[in-house]
């Protein structure tokens, strides 16, 4: 570029004008063309490198995350008697008692069917997941089903699950109290007999987090709900506040030192690391205002603070991009300043405002750091809130926080779940972006 | 700044009005603290939620010190009820607590956790470790010919001829972890004393405190790396370094036996049995602390504490010991303590 502009004026002075032909390029033109070709090649390479990494990223997300969506289950018909139910309910660890009943029934079933592989009750313990919770949940809700045979599909332990989805290789198995290599022979036979099978893991999409010893019970559903409530808070607060602030600053405020100062500070605020907002949220919303810990309401408020500058900056930019002629025309036919803004400028700026808002929301959706300090990162497994209002105040997690928590757990099965969670997070983001695009199309006007 | 303040105050007003509208008391137990205790606490929290009518407690991590700090912030619904710790509470922390109105604290010991050294499954076997070897490999300065010099050892074989001849590369927990303290006390200090370096340093004119400090001082030339993250980070480092050796919790190692090979210490391999018998030397008690003022205010708090230390949960064969916690032989005493709500100050009387 600089080369071309610097040396062109010098060319006619050297008197080479006669030798120029349209069909034969001189050395200088060749150099310029070569520079352009090179530049295009650089650009293309940059795009290709970007694409390559995108493909690698998506490839690894999908290949790592897909196993989270399937699970290995044991299918069994269980009849729980009234006495057994009462016995289990009288214990402190009720879920453990339910699990024992299931294992005993499983053992009888296998005996009847005549399984070739030798096994003991402990092997069944290792093969099955932490299923007591599911059983108790079912029977306490359906007491009338006691004494009747009920078909159950319950998850196997994370290691058996890992064996069937390819995470755990047989040769890597070292006998431990979690899994013996002989258990795999039994699992293989059960799988062949159809007692054990793989199916879609709905629980992963709808469930809540589970303890570290129960990867089969872990789901991301509750934290999706948590993220959803946080996004509602962010949207309801930051959109009106942000748009009002930028309309005032852009259209009404006098240009003086004060507004300059405010402008500089908004730009600075946009660059503040998000963890700072977390500390602020802990101090202001939890310790001062006394809002509940781990609540999506507080998370939403903190993320609102983080999103506001983004929304203000993009809203001001889109207000600025509306041609002044539109304002002048409106004012010229007698509209008041406010009418001009709300009837003419704002509708035209709407697509830009929406885009900015959705980008701000998307950024807030992926944020973990501010949530660390307000109690939303950790083990939060309350499940779904009882109602709409309690959804804001009941303890819940958020998707990125849930992914972060899973990635740190010892059982490799949770690592898979973390990747699966990323897929759900990306789907959520994509949905938001699609809504933004649809809204933008609707509001777009040409002039 | 004025804009930020305006926004903050607007939001604070909105928040206060919102809190007035939802003025309901917290109905779940709120726990925070040690990342070592977190797995156990999360197991108990889930089972507690499954087995009782109380909502599942919320368990946050962040480290023993951070948890106790939040615990000592005061009494009230916006403070945590339980702090998990992988070490006992310090007198200074008890003072801070008392200054903020948290006077009655119930100390609950839940069991023991083993600290193990493990290397990559395909790497060389470390089967001849003594605490002294680890001290000599990782100390910042060693005594050579009566003088304190920078650690000269390059390979494990330099330290002990029975160990494999590979470069020293150790991944140890960072200083914010409670595990680091145990590592310093039970491995480095013991090794320092066993080699006689401690005495030599005192003879050289150091005070005992200084000598102790020199014993637990870890080399900074890159052969020992502090890991501030979780064990998963240590595992990732071991995965990419066949000759590296890392410090893990017993439960974490047992969950990853397909990737990790454990090192013996003084010829004893770590397991719940060898740790509870005391044969394996590197273990430490795990605790949680309950704010007595919150019992009766926060529903389910006492029930949670009782449930945690019950025989079915924390005893042998329970879900905690199955995950890797070494059961406490004195669990019955702890159960009584929780049932009678005996605080630390009453205990010392």
Q: What is the pLDDT of residue B12?
A: 55
Q: Name residue B119's beta-bridge partners.
A: B245, B261
Distance CA B121, CA B261 (A): 5
Pairwise CB contact (< 8 Å): B26 & A380: no
Are the Cβ atoms of A95 and B231 closer than 8 angstroms? no
- Whole-number pLDDT of residue A304: 94
User: What is the 8-class DSSP label of residue B217?
Assistant: P
Q: A404: helix, coil or strand?
A: helix
Assess B12–A contact: CB distance below 8 Å, yes or no: yes
| A35 in contact with B, Cβ within 8 Å | no
Contact B290, B301 (CB under 8 A): yes
Per-residue pLDDT reduced to its tens digit, B278-332: 888 888 899 999 999 999 999 999 999 999 999 999 988 889 988 889 998 889 9
Q: Give residue B183's domain range.
A: 114-283
Question: Is B80 part of a structural domain of the chain?
Answer: yes
Question: Is the alpha carbon torsion for B262, B264, B265, B270 positive or negative?
Answer: positive
- Centre a 10 Å sphere on the Cβ of residue B231 and count the other Cβ atoms it contains: 28
User: Within 13 Å of residue A328, how many CA atoms lie on the same side as its CB?
Assistant: 3
CB spacing of B319 vs A213 below 8 angstroms: yes
Q: How many helices (H) and strands (E) does chain B have?
A: 18, 12
Give me the residue label for tokens 């759900």.
A424
A275 touches chain B (CB under 8 A): no
Which residue of A213, A308, A392 is in closest CB contact with B43?
Answer: A213
Do both B259 and B131 map to the same domain?
yes
**HEC letters along B56-73:** CCEECCCCHHHHHHHHCC
Pick the closest to residue A142 from A201, A222, A101, A85 (CA basis).
A85
Contact at 8 Å (CB) between A47 and A40? Answer: no
Model ipTM value: 0.82
- Can you spell out the DSSP letters for B143-187? EETTEEEE----BHHHH-TTS-S-B--EEEE-TTSHHHHHIIIII
Q: CA-CA distance, A32 to A9, in Å (whole number)?
A: 14
pLDDT of residue A446: 63
Per 3-state DSSP, chain A is made up of helix, strand and coil in percentages (nearest 5) of: 70, 5, 25
**Count of structural domains, chain B:** 2
End residue of a domain, out of B230, B253, B283: B283
Nearest CA in chain A to B34: A378
What is the Cα–Cα distance from B208 to B227, expressed in whole angstroms?
Answer: 28
Domain boundary among B245, B261, B283: B283
Which of B11, B22, B55 has its CB closest to that of A301? Answer: B11
DSSP secondary structure string for all residues of B283-323? EEEEEEEEEGGGBTTBTTHHHHHHHHHSHHHHSTTSHHHHH
Cβ neighbours for A438, distance < 8 A, ≥ 6 positions apart: none
Whole-angstrom distance, CA of residue B82 vs CA of residue B292 = 10
**What is the CATH classification number for the domain harbouring B193?**
3.40.190.10
What are the DSSP calls for A148-205, one per residue? SEEEEEEEB-HHHHHHHHTSS-GGG----SS--HHHHHHHHHHHHHTSEEEEE-HHHH
Residue B324 domain-assigned (yes or no): yes
Cβ–Cβ gap A379/B42 under 8 Å: yes
Cross-chain residue pair B254–A266, CB shorter than 8 Å: no
d(CA B88, CA B33): 12
Which residues in chain A are closer than 8 Å to B121, comparing Cβ atoms?
172
How far, in Å, CA of A50 to CA of A54, rounded? Answer: 6
Neighboring chain B residues of A130 at a CB cutoff of 8 Å: 319
Q: Clarify whether residues B30 and B145 are in a common domain.
A: no
Residues B98 and B119 in one domain: no
CB contact set of A82 (below 8 Å; sequence gap of 6+):
A146, A147
Degrees to nearest 5, angle at CA A384 with B82 and A158: 75
Same domain, B275 and B319: no
- The distance of A132 to chain B (nearest Cα, Å) reads 9
Residues of chain A with pLDDT under 70: 1-20, 445-447
Residues B292 and B145 in one domain: no
A266 vs B: CB within 8 A: yes
**Same domain assignment for residues B264 and B201:** yes
User: What are the CA-CA distances from residue A173 to residues A117, A136, A162 (Å)?
Assistant: 18, 32, 11
Residues with Cβ within 8 Å of A285's Cβ and at least 6 positions away in sequence, in order, are: A291, A298, A301, A302, A374, B12, B15
Boundary of a domain, candidates B283, B306, B335: B283
Q: Contact at 8 Å (CB) between A120 and A162?
A: no
B205 within some domain? yes
Provide CB contacts within 8 A for A218, sequence distance 6+.
A204, A207, A209, A210, A406, A414, A417
Query: A293 — contact with chain B (CB < 8 Å)?
Result: yes
Same domain (yes/no): B289, B157 = no
Q: Tell me which residue in A174, A375, A381 faces B56 most closely, judged by beta carbons.
A: A381
Query: Sign of the CA dihedral A373, B287, B331, B340?
Result: negative
Do B250 and B120 have their domain in common?
yes
Contact A93 B47 (CB under 8 A): yes
B44 plus B103 within the same structural domain? yes
A22 Cα distance to chain centroid? 58
pTM of the full structure: 0.84
Contacts of A208 in chain B (CB under 8 A): 56
Asked if residue B150 and residue B234 are part of one domain, the reply reads yes
Interior angle at CA B216, CA B213 and CA B218, nearest 5: 115
Task: Tell me which residues of chain B have a pLDDT lower than 50.
Answer: 1-2, 16, 19-23
**For residue B231, is it within any domain?**
yes
What is chain B's alpha carbon radius of gyration, rounded to the nearest angstrom? 23
pLDDT at A217: 87
User: Could you tell me which residues come within 8 angstroms of residue B294 by beta carbon, excluding any fewer than 6 positions away?
Assistant: B75, B81, B301
Distance from CA of B194 to the nearest CA of A (A): 33
Report all structural domains of chain A as residue ranges with CATH numbers, in order of start: 2-66 (no CATH), 67-217 (no CATH), 221-443 (1.10.3720.10)
> Which residues on chain A are in Cβ contact (under 8 Å) with B11?
237, 284, 301, 304-305
Q: Tell me the nearest-neighbour CA distance from A240 into chain B, angstroms.
A: 12
Residue B61 in any domain: the answer is yes
**Structural contact between residues A443 and A350, judged by C-beta atoms closer than 8 angstroms:** yes
Asked if residue B328 and residue B225 are part of one domain, the reply reads no
Considering only residues 284 to 323 of chain B, which have any Cβ-Cβ distance to chain A shorter than 8 Å? 307, 310, 312-313, 318-319, 322-323
B8 lies in a domain?
no
B118 within some domain: yes
Q: Do B125 and B93 belong together in one domain?
A: no
Report if residue B17 sits inside a domain.
Answer: no
Residues 6 or more apart whose Cβ sits within 8 Å of residue A337: A251, A252, A331
């Amino acid at each position: 570029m600089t080369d071309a502009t610097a040396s062109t004026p010098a060319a006619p002075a050297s008197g080479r004008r006669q030798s120029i032909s349209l069909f034969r390029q001189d050395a200088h033109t060749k150099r310029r063309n070569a520079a352009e070709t090179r530049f295009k090649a650089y650009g293309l390479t940059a795009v290709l490198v970007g694409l390559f990494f995108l493909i690698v990223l998506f490839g690894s997300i999908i290949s790592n995350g897909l196993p989270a969506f399937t699970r290995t289950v044991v299918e069994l018909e269980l009849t729980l008697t009234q006495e057994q139910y009462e016995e289990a309910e009288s214990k402190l660890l009720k879920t453990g008692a339910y699990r024992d009943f299931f294992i005993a029934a499983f053992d009888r079933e296998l005996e009847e069917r005549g399984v070739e592989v030798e096994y003991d009750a402990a092997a069944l313990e290792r093969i099955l997941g932490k299923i007591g919770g599911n059983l108790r949940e079912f029977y306490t809700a359906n007491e009338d089903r006691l004494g009747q045979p009920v078909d159950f599909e319950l998850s196997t332990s994370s290691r058996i699950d890992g064996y069937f989805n390819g995470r755990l290789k047989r040769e890597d198995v070292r006998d431990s109290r979690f899994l013996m290599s002989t258990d795999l022979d039994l699992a293989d036979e059960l799988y062949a007999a159809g007692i054990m099978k793989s199916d879609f893991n709905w629980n992963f999409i709808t469930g809540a987090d589970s303890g570290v010893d129960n990867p089969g019970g872990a789901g991301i559903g509750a934290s999706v709900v948590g993220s959803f409530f946080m996004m509602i808070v962010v949207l309801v607060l930051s959109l009106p506040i942000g748009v009002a602030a930028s309309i005032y600053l852009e259209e009404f405020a006098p240009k003086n030192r004060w507004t300059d100062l405010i402008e500089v500070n908004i730009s600075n605020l946009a660059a503040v690391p998000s963890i700072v907002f977390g500390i602020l949220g802990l101090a202001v919303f939890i310790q001062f205002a006394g809002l509940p810990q781990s609540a999506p309401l507080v998370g939403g408020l903190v993320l609102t603070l983080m999103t506001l500058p983004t929304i203000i900056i993009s809203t001001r930019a889109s207000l600025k991009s509306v041609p002044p002629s539109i304002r002048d025309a409106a004012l010229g036919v007698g509209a008041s300043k406010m009418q001009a803004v709300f009837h003419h400028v704002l509708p035209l700026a709407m697509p830009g405002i929406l885009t900015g808002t959705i980008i701000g929301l998307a950024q807030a959706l992926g944020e973990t750091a501010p949530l660390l300090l307000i109690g939303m990162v950790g083990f939060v497994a309350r499940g779904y809130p009882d109602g709409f209002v309690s959804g804001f105040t009941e303890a819940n997690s958020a998707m990125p926080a849930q992914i972060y928590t899973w990635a740190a757990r010892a059982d490799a099965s949770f690592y898979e779940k973390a990747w699966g969670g990323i897929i759900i997070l990306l789907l959520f983001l994509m949905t938001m972006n699609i809504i933004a695009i649809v809204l933008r199309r609707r509001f777009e006007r040409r002039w | 700044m004025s804009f930020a303040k305006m926004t903050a105050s607007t939001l604070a007003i909105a928040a206060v009005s919102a809190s007035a509208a939802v003025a309901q008391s917290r109905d779940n137990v709120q726990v925070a603290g040690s990342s070592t205790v977190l797995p156990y606490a999360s197991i108990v929290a889930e089972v507690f939620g499954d087995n009782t009518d109380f909502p599942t407690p919320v368990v946050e991590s962040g480290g023993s010190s951070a948890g106790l700090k939040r615990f000592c912030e005061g009494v009230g619904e916006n403070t945590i009820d339980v702090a998990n710790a992988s070490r006992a509470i310090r007198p200074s922390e008890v003072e801070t607590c008392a200054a903020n109105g948290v006077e009655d604290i119930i100390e609950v010991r839940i069991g023991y956790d083993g600290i193990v050294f493990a290397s990559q499954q395909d790497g060389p076997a470390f089967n001849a470790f003594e605490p002294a070897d680890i001290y000599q490999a990782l100390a910042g300065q060693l005594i050579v010919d009566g003088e304190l010099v920078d650690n000269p050892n390059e390979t494990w074989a330099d330290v002990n001829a029975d160990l494999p001849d590979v470069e020293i590369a150790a991944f140890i927990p960072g200083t914010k972890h409670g595990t680091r303290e145990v590592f310093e006390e039970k491995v480095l200090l013991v090794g320092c004393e066993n080699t006689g370096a401690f005495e030599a340093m005192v003879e050289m004119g150091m005070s005992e405190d200084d000598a102790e400090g020199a014993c637990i001082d870890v080399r900074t030339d890159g052969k020992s790396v502090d890991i501030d993250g979780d064990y998963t980070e240590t595992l990732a480092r071991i995965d990419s370094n066949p000759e590296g050796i890392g410090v893990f919790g017993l439960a974490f190692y047992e969950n990853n036996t397909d990737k990790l090979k454990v090192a013996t210490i003084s010829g004893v391999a770590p397991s719940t049995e060898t740790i509870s018998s005391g044969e394996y030397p590197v273990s430490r008690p795990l605790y949680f602390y309950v704010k007595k003022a919150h019992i009766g205010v926060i529903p389910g708090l006492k029930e949670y504490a009782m449930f945690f230390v019950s025989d079915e949960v924390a005893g042998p064969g329970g879900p905690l010991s199955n995950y890797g916690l070494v059961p406490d032989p004195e669990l019955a005493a702890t159960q009584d303590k929780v049932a009678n709500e005996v605080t630390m100050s009453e205990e010392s009387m």
